[in-house]
């Protein structure tokens, strides 16, 4: 049984084909510049050279046709017949309050996803376009929606309700939702295994740090708070997003600069964060290099980001009543040893004692590593995330009738016998 995972962005489609019987990825890749011209596909198969092809994709349907064509290509493909694909799992960024778990997609589900697309206007429309395109190209196979927001639907009402007019929540759904749910799910369950505990006996802080950044407070195995809010703009310092700021600042700047709401939204989402501080960089490697060369704004950006990370660790330790572990994941979390060191500095009073040498030598997206000394009461792990595996297992669970929700479903990676391939 081969499961295709699709992640459709506004101008890209990521894909991965997973052989469930062999428990391994057999192909993955991305179509870039969809809808904007000069599009191309990068196709990777383990043991082969990466293949790239220029192919014009004016919409997501053409892009998904291209992916299917590539998977069954006589020279570059991995399946002899496209009928080998048993199901498709689709990432959907925002499910609102309608979806607390992954679900089989039918017309009613698709319409419900459309009903909440106003909550994620940058993300849900391309997700929807991808679903519609894939259902058109592969009409005979089941399609499953996996929601970024579902993992955080366990938050208590006092954690997700904003101190705003309550009818904004009742009329428009204004509340904290949170994102990166599949990543937080995966690494928290892996951390529980590394701790030798049942997830229900663990309090863990998960820190997904890439261009987008979010943190989750996990108590008793479920999310009780998370840093992103109604949208992915709230929370930590990110590559181009501002994160937490005084809410009066946008209105003040809008008046001072005579900006439209759309222009201001673009600045907060695309020109702020690390880019806003440095004036030139979003990639933390560039920021670290700049700081090493004496660029004061690069050094400031690193200090601001690390300081915010430290504050979230403290806040979420308080929210959970004490923690067993902190987990760093995603590109910066897995590779950025300097940022991890800066964020954890001075937290010995909390029982976090970093092994600096081990942390410095942990720059990999393949291994799970403990980076605290044996005497550290709170463990700190670097765990590479695998959101696509969550997609795949949810799809298989739904097909086999064993899936209930992320709290009770038995994921293979939540087992001590699991080995990352």
pLDDT digits (tens, 9 = 90+) for 69-106: 999 898 898 988 888 899 999 999 899 888 989 999 99
What order do you get walking across the sheet with 369-370 strand by strand? 222-226, 213-219, 203-209, 325-329, 379-382, 369-370
| pLDDT grade for 124, boundaries at 50, 70 and 90 | confident
Q: Which of 38, 115, 148, 355 is catalytic?
A: 148
Fold of 2-147: Nucleotidyltransferase; domain 5 (3.30.420)
Backbone angles phi, psi at 245, to 5 degrees: -145, 165
The conformation of residue 210, written as its DSSP 8-state character, comes to S
pLDDT for residue 118: 81
All CATH 3.30.420.40 domain ranges of the chain, comma separated, are 2-147, 197-382
pLDDT for residue 123: 80
Domain at 197-382, CATH homologous superfamily: ATPase, nucleotide binding domain (3.30.420.40)
Structural contact between residues 215 and 208, judged by C-beta atoms closer than 8 angstroms: yes
| pLDDT grade for 421, boundaries at 50, 70 and 90 | low
pLDDT for residue 287: 95
* Per-residue pLDDT reduced to its tens digit, 222-234: 999 999 999 889 9
Check residues 97 and 382 and name the one with the higher pLDDT.
Answer: 382
**Average of pLDDT values for 107-134?**
87
Structural contact between residues 217 and 340, judged by C-beta atoms closer than 8 angstroms: no
Task: Assess whether 246 carries a catalytic annotation.
Answer: no
* Per-residue pLDDT reduced to its tens digit, 139-173: 999 999 999 999 999 999 999 999 999 999 999 99
* Per-residue pLDDT reduced to its tens digit, 16-64: 999 988 888 999 999 988 888 889 999 999 989 999 999 998 888 899 8
């Amino acid at each position: 049984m081969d499961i295709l995972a699709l992640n459709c962005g506004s101008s890209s489609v990521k894909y991965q084909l997973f052989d469930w019987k062999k428990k391994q990825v057999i192909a993955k890749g991305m179509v870039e510049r969809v809808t904007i011209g000069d599009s191309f596909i990068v196709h990777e198969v383990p043991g082969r050279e990466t293949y790239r092809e220029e192919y014009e994709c004016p919409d997501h349907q053409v892009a998904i046709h291209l992916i299917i064509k590539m998977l069954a290509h006589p020279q570059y493909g991995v399946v002899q017949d496209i009928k080998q694909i048993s199901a498709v799992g689709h990432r959907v960024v925002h499910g609102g309050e309608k979806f607390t778990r992954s679900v089989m997609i039918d017309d009613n589900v698709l319409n419900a996803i459309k009903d909440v697309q106003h909550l994620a206007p940058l993300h849900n429309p391309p997700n929807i376009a991808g679903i519609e395109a894939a259902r058109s190209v592969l009409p005979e196979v089941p399609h499953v929606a996996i929601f970024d927001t579902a993992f955080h639907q366990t938050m208590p009402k006092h954690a997700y309700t904003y101190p705003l007019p309550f009818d904004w929540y009742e009329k428009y759904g204004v509340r904290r939702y949170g994102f990166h749910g599949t990543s937080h799910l995966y690494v928290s369950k892996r951390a529980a295994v590394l701790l030798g505990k049942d997830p229900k006996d663990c309090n863990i802080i998960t820190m997904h740090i890439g261009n987008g950044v979010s943190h989750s407070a996990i108590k008793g195995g479920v999310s009780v708070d998370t840093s992103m809010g109604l949208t992915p703009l709230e929370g930590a310092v990110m590559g181009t997003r501002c994160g937490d700021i005084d809410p009066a600042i946008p209105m003040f700047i809008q008046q001072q600069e005579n900006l439209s709401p759309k222009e201001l939204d673009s600045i907060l989402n695309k020109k702020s964060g690390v880019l806003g501080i440095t004036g030139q960089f979003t990639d933390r490697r560039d920021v670290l290099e700049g700081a090493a060369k004496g660029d004061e704004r690069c050094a400031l950006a690193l200090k601001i980001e690390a300081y915010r990370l430290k504050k979230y660790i403290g806040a979420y330790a308080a929210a959970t009543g004490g923690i067993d572990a902190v987990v760093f994941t995603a590109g910066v979390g897995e590779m950025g040893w300097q940022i991890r060191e800066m964020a954890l500095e001075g937290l010995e009073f909390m029982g976090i004692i970093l092994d600096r040498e081990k942390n410095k030598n942990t720059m990999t997206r393949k291994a799970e590593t403990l980076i605290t000394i044996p005497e550290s009461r709170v463990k700190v792990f670097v765990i590479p995330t695998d959101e696509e595996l969550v997609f795949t297992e949810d799809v298989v669970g739904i097909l086999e009738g064993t899936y209930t929700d992320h709290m009770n479903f038995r994921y293979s990676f939540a087992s001590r016998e699991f080995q990352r391939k």
